[in-house]
Structure 1
Amino acid sequence: MTIDTQSRITLHFELAMDDGAVVDSTFERTPATFTYGDGSLLPGVEKKLLGMCAGEKKDFVLNPEDAFGQPNPANIQHFKRDQFGADMELAEGMVISFADAQRAELPGVVQSISDDEVVVNFNHPLAGRTLRFTAEILKVEAVSS
Structure 2
Amino acid sequence: MNDLPVDKGTRVTLHFALRIQGGEVVDSTFDKDAPSLEIGDGNLPENFEAYLMGMKAGDRKTVVVPPEKGFGQHNPSNIQTFKRHDFSADMVLEPGVVVSFADARQQELPGVVTRVEGDEVDVDFNHPLAGRTLEFEVAILDVEPVGTAH
TM (normalized to structure 1)?
A: 0.94
Residue segments in structure 1 that go unaligned for 5+ positions in a row: none
Could you say what the CA RMSD is over the residues aligned between the two structures, in angstroms?
Answer: 1.2
Secondary structure at the aligned position of 2:23 is classed as coil
The 2-side partners of 1:43 and 1:87 are apart by: 40
How does 1:20-99 map onto structure 2 within 5 Å? 20-99=23-102
Name segments (4+ residues, structure 1) moved above 4 Å: none
From 118, 122, 128, the equivalent of 1:119 is 122
Stretch deviating more after TM superposition (80-89 or 121-130): 80-89
Q: Is the 8 A contact 1:42 1:66 kept in 2?
A: no
CA-to-partner distance for each residue in 1:59-93, whole Å, 9 max, x for gaps?
01111111111122221111112212333221101
Secondary structure at the aligned position of 2:17 is classed as strand
Given residue 71 of structure 2, which amino acid in structure 1 is its aligned partner? Answer: F
Residue segments in structure 2 that go unaligned for 5+ positions in a row: none
Q: Is the 8 A contact 1:108 1:122 kept in 2?
A: yes
TM (normalized to structure 2)?
A: 0.91
From 95, 103, 108, the equivalent of 1:105 is 108
The 1-side partners of 2:106 and 2:53 are apart by: 36
Partner of 1:137: 140
Percent of counterpart pairs with the same letter?
A: 53
Shift, 1:41, TM fit: 0.8
Given residue 110 of structure 2, which amino acid in structure 1 is its aligned partner? Answer: P
Q: Does 1:11 align with 2:10?
A: no
